[in-house]
Structure 1
Amino acid sequence: MDGPQAPQVRSLDARSLRGLAHPLRMQLLDALRFGGPATASQLAEKLGESSGATSYHLRQLATHGFVEDAPDRGKGRERWWKAVHQGLRFDEALLSDADPAVRGAADMYLHQIATTQTQDLSTWLGNRASWPAEWNRVWDMSSATLRLTPELTHELIEKMHALIDTYRDRAATEDDADVAQVRLHTHAFPIVTD
């Protein structure tokens, strides 16, 4: 194999979006993507849900190809699940789909992403003191307001994503004591000014 593999990213279409656009399903998928394989009971405990609810929604995610069995983990009747993809790609055309159910699912999906990102940041701020000093010196919560055209905004977004991708290849090994999953959120949107 030549060099590191690009992360496997799934593009959402109308059908798969409708299968994913549910707050608990999105939480389950994130838990598996970022925490690794788990059982419905483990996920229920982690997310404060019933194992019946997590089992049902995991099966729905499997039907739409987001999760699958992790048979190397299971013992006996224990069913382990794992995420199929490392990331998702959203097509803004879903927001203008002819089907109102698709538009509604797209809107719900985006609002849930925004809520999750806000919760991620809030959790960091609440737990920051429990992290070593090295991590408390390198976190960031900044914003910038620029005057840009749509074309320049697109260029900036592409460059930010390309820069982030260059760090995927530089990631430390799992056995490095200083390794942590670092969440990066990027937002770019126009605002109304007076």
Structure 2
Amino acid sequence: MTRDIESLSDPKAMRALAHPARLTILNQLGVVGSATATEVAEIAGITPSAASYHLRMLAKYGFVEDAPPRGDGRERVWRSVAKSLSIASRPGDQQDVREAKDLLIRAFRRDANEAVERALAVGDREPDEWKDATLLSRILLRLDAAEMKRLGEEIDKLLQPYVARHRSPEDAPEGARVAEAQVSLFLSAQRPTPGLPTEDHDAS
């Protein structure tokens, strides 16, 4: 399996991608492979004309491209460009690049948190085998920068064979569904110390 990793550095492209509807559209294309503006509009909760605009903006910055036409070819079909995107702060980043990266990372996190909330809302309705396979974990690590970088690379390598964009339904086992892995490796920042309250309102 081959894949491309593109490290985002263009502030205009990052700001364009940070729009919630565009993130939804890009995620959907990563699952279904290709779709029309009308099809992604329903998922994103926007009008087909708005979806067409967002798709053109995504295409402008190289995130999506035209897919082979269907049927009579009257409706434009889009697909995601097969790249895994990464965002990382670099020592030489200019201020506009740092600000754009921060904006996009926060947009990614909001979108990811919403995905978890949706999953939790319907989790009780899932079959027991899927409940048993679900893992929501938070672990504090002690490691140096080289170890953390290597750990991230190892996790990425483990996930690659299962990435929906590269693994078609025909290649996956029977009963396979789309799942989501959210990986965040970052330095733990010290929690602010609020100090002792002036009154203990919980005291009986």
Answering whether residue 106 of structure 2 is matched by residue 108 of structure 1, we say: no
RMSD after superposition: 2.8
Q: Does 1:161 pair with 2:156?
A: yes
How far did residue 174 of structure 1 move?
4.2
2:25 is the counterpart of 1:7 = no
Instruction: Please state how far the C-alpha of 1:109 moved relative to its aligned partner.
Output: 0.7
Instruction: Give yes or no for contact 2:66–2:76 (8 Å, CA) kept in 1.
Output: yes
For residues 127 and 161 of structure 2, the distance between their equivalents in structure 1, rounded to whole angstroms, comes to: 26
Partners of 2:37 and 2:169 lie apart in 1 by: 30
What TM-score do you get using the length of structure 2 for normalisation?
Answer: 0.78
Distance 2:35 2:69 in 1: 12
In terms of fraction of residues, the more helix-rich structure is 1
2:189 corresponds in structure 1 to 191
Q: Which structure 1 segments of 5+ residues have no match?
A: none
Deviation at 1:155, TM superposition (A): 3.1
- Secondary structure at the aligned position of 1:137 is classed as helix
Distance in 1, Cα, partners of 2:99 & 2:3 = 28
Q: Is 2:28–2:40's contact at 8 Å kept on the other side of the alignment?
A: yes
Which residue of 2 is the match for residue 141 of structure 1?
136
Quote the offset at 1:24 in angstroms. Answer: 2.0
Q: Quick check: 2:112–2:182 contact (8 Å CA) kept in 1?
A: yes
Which of 10, 27, 31 aligns to 1:30? It is 27
Partner SS for 1:9: strand
Identity %, equivalent residues: 32
C-alpha spacing 1:117/1:78, structure 2 compared with 1 (3 Å): same
In 2, the alpha carbon distance for the partners of 1:82 and 1:172 equals: 17
Q: Residues 66 and 74 of structure 1: is their aligned pair in 2 closer, same or farther, counting only changes over 3 Å?
A: farther
Relative to structure 1, is the Cα distance of residues 7 and 128 closer, same or farther in structure 2, using a 3 angstrom cutoff?
farther
**Alpha-carbon spacing, 1:99–1:32, altered in 2? closer, same or farther (3 Å):** same
Structure ID, larger Rg: 2
| Residues 71-104 of structure 1: CA deviation (Å, up to 9, x unaligned) | 23353421111111242122322x963252x333
1:39 corresponds in structure 2 to 36
Give the direction of change, closer, same or farther, for the CA distance of 1:48–1:98 in structure 2 (3 Å limit).
same
The normalised TM-score by structure 1 is: 0.81
Indicate whether 1:16 and 2:13 are aligned.
yes
d(CA) in 1 for partners of 2:63 and 2:49?
19
Report the CA distance shift for 1:8/1:148 in structure 2 as closer, same or farther (over 3 A).
closer
> Contact 2:69/2:76 (CA < 8 Å) preserved in 1?
no
1:33/1:86 contact within 8 Å kept? no
Paired with 1:151 and 1:170, the residues of 2 have a C-alpha distance of 31
